[in-house]
A and B are shown apart, each in its own frame.
Chain A
Amino acid sequence: MKAWLTALIALLCSGLALALGAAMLALPEFAVRLPGQVAANLDASGVAHPVTAVLLNFRGYDTLLEVAVLLLALLGVFALSRHASDHAHPAAPAHPVLQTLARLLAPLMVLVAGYLLWIGAYAPGGAFQAGAVLAAAGVLLRLAGLLPAWAQPGRLLRGGLALGLLVFLAVAVAGLPQGELLHYPPALASPLILLVEAGLTLSIGLTLAGLYLASAGWRQ
C-alpha cells in the first residue's frame, strides 16, 4: 500500500480518536437513566440478576435475534464447508493421555455448564456462559479425536442446533395472546426464562462447537 495512503489513514484514525475523546469529555447530564427502572422492574422480570433481566426479559428481543445471528454464522461455515470437503474426515488419532483426560473432563464440563445455567438467574452466568463451556467440551473431544468433524450435519444434529432458537421463538410467540411478543406473565416468567435458557444452552454449545467442528474437516 502506498505510504501516503497509510499516513492518511493513520492521521484520520488518530483524529477520530481525538474527536471521540474530546466529545466524551464534554458530555451533558444524562437525560434518561435506566438503572433505576431496571431495579424497579426486576421483581416482575422473573430473574434476580439485573443483567440477565435485561438480557432475557427487558431486551429479550435483542437476544432472540442474537441467537439467530449465531446460528447464521454456523450456517455460513456449513455453506463453505459443503464446497471445501468431499467427505467427513475421521478424527485424527490423539495421544491416549489426552483422550483419557478428555473422557474425564467432558462430563465435568457438562456439569459446570448446568450450574452456570442455573446460577445465571441470580449472579453472573447464564446460557451463553454455559453454552461456551459445553462447546469447549466438544472442542476438547474433537481434539482428542473422539468426535468426527461435522461437514454434513444429520437431521438430529440440525434439530439440536435449531432447538434453542425454536424454543425461544415458541416462548416469544406464546406471549402474544396475553399481550405482546415475548411477554412473560410475571408468574411464569421465571420458569419460562429457565426453559429458554436451557434450550439456548444446548444450542449455543452445539453452535459454538460446530463453528469449530464444521471447519475442522477442511483439507489443509
Chain B
Amino acid sequence: MTDFLDPLPWLIMLPLAWGTLAFVLGPGRGGRLAVAAIALQGALALQLAGQLIDSGARVYAVGGWGAPLGIDLMADGLAAVMLLLTQAVALPLAVYARGYFAASPKGRELFWPFTGFLLAALNALFLSADLFNIYVTLELLGLAAVGLVAIAGGRQPVTAAMRYLFATLLGSGAWLLGVALIYGTYGSVSLAVLTPLIHAGAPLAVTLAAALMLAGLLLKTALFPFHFWLPPAHGGAPAPVSALLSALVIKATFYLALRLWLELFAPLTTVAAAQLLGVLGAAAILWGSVLALTQSRLKMLVAYSTVAQVGYLFLLFPLATLVPPGTADSALAGGVMQAVAHGLAKAAMFAATGSMIVATGRDDISRLGGVGARLPLTLFSFGLAGVTLMGLPPSGGFSAKWLLLGSALESGQWWWVVVMIVGGLLTAAYVFKVLRRAFLPRAAGDRVARVPRTLEFSAFALALASILLGLFGAPLLELLAVGREA
C-alpha cells in the first residue's frame, strides 16, 4: 500500500485529476477542490523532498518498463526544489484567486481547470527524464499558459496570447526538432541513456540539437531579446494568472535549460557560449529594469521586472561553466535560489498588484495615492517582495545574489558583479517608484476600496516566504545538493 501513496506519481496525477474535475464541476466547487488538492500536493512535495534527503535521488519507471523502452521519471534535489517552489507558490495563489475572482469575476469560469493542467505540466516537467515526454509537458504547459492569458478576453490579452502562443510553439518546435535529431543519432530519448553517450566531439546533429533545444528554451523563458511576448502577456492577464506565469512558467523552461547545460550537454559547453548567455542575461537585467522604470502601468512594471529578473538566472551559466567545482556549486545554488526567491516574490508582487488594482479600480501607478493608508498589508507585501527582488538581506534574493556574487568574484568575472549591483539599484528604483506613490495621500476624486482579507494575507504569505527563505535557506541548499555529489 505504500506504493499507492508514493508522492512522485501523485504530484502529476493529482492536478490533472482536479483540473479535469474542476472543469466538470464549475468554478465554485472547483476552486474549493483546487485549494484542498494543492495543499495535498504541497504535503506530497515535502514528503518527496524528505525521501530524497534521506535516501538520495530517485528514478521512477512509469508502467514498469524502464528506459529506454518506457518513460522514466527522475527526482533529484533540483527537481524537488522546483516542485516545492511550485506548490508553495500555487497554494497561496489559489487562496488568492478565490478571493480575486469573487471581486473581479472576469475569467473565473475556466481558471481552475487551466491552473490544474498548468501545475500538472509543471510537476511533470520537473520530474521527467525523457526528452520526448518533456516535449509533451512543454506543450501542455504552453497551451495552459496561453489559455490563462486569454482567459479574461479582450483585445489586448488576446493579442498577447496570440503572440505568446507563436513564441511557445516555435520554442517547442525547436525542442522537438532537437529531440528528433537526438533520437536519430542515438536511438533513444531517455536522459539516463543519453547522458553517458554524449561527449565532446559528438556528431554535428547533436550540436545542432543542443543549440535548437537551448534556443527554443530561451525563447520560452523570455530571455532578452526574446522577452517581447512576456510583458503584454503577463501584464494583461488577471493578477493570479500573471503571478503563476511569472513565478513558475518561465522557471520551468529555465530549469530545462539548466538541466541540459549542466547534465546532458555538459561535454559540449564552452566558455564562449556561456559568456553569450551571461551577456544576454546582463542585457536582460539592464533593459528590463530600465523599461520597468519607464512604465506607467503597475502590472507592466512588474512584468518588465520579470524580464529583468530572468536575466539573473542566466548569469549562472558563465559562473558555473568550466570553473572550479566549488565555484560552480555556489553559482548553481545561487541561480536556483534566485529562481525560488523570484518565484515567491514575484507571485507576491503580482498578487499585491492585483489587490491594489482591485482597490483603486485602475492600473495606473500615478493613481496609487492612498493605497498605503487603506491597504497597508498589501503595500507591505509589495515592499517585502521588492526587497527580495532588490537582493537586500535577509531575503532569498539576497542569498541568491550573495552566492552569485561570491562565485563571480571567485572566478574572477568581476563584470557580472557590476551588472548585478547595477541591476539591484535599478530594481530599487522601480520598486520605490511604486512605493513612494502609494505612500502619498489619496488624490481627490480617487477611490480606494477595501479588498477581501484573503487577498491581503495570501500576498503577504508569499512575500514573507520570500524573506524567510533568506533566513532559512540552508535546508533548501541541502536538498539541492541531493543527486549532485557524484
A residues touching B (Cβ–Cβ < 8 Å)? 19-20, 22-24, 26-28, 30-34, 37-38, 41, 57-62, 64-66, 68-69, 71-73, 75-76, 78-80, 82-84, 155, 158-159, 161-162, 165-166, 169, 172-173, 175-184
Contacts and interface: CB of A to CB of B under 8 A. Distances in A.
10 contacts: A32-B187, A59-B132, A68-B16, A83-B154, A162-B23, A162-B24, A165-B20, A173-B13, A182-B63, A184-B63
Q: Looking at chain B, what size class is its interface with the partner chain?
A: 35 or more
A4 to B, nearest CB: 18
Interface string B55-90: 000001111110011110000000000000000000
Interface of B: 1, 3-4, 6, 9, 12-13, 16-17, 19-21, 23-24, 26, 60-65, 68-71, 107, 109-110, 113-114, 117, 120-121, 124, 132-133, 136-137, 139-140, 143-144, 146-147, 150-151, 153-154, 158, 177, 181, 184-188, 193, 197, 203-205, 207-208
Contacts of A162: 20-21, 23-24
Contact of B3 (A22, A31, A72, A177): A177
Contacts of A179: 3, 64
Contacts of A19: 204, 208
A58 B65 contact: yes
Given A166-B17, A173-B13, A177-B4, A72 B147 contact: yes
B9 A180 contact: yes
Contacts of B208: 19-20, 23
B153 A169 contact: no
B218 to A, nearest CB: 16
Contact of A69 (B139, B154, B187): B139
Centre residue among B1, B63, B140, B177 by max chain A CB count within 10 A:
B63
Contacts of B186: 30-32
Contact of B143 (A76, A165, A169): A76
B150 A24 contact: no
Contacts of A72: 114, 117, 140, 143-144, 147
A69 B136 contact: yes
Given A68-B16, A177-B3, A183-B63, A62 B147 contact: no
Contact of A34 (B60, B64, B68, B140): B68
B203 A27 contact: yes
A91 to B, nearest CB: 24
B28 to A, nearest CB: 13
A27 B185 contact: yes
Nearest to A183: B64
B17 to A, nearest CB: 5
Contacts of B70: 58-59
A31 B20 contact: no
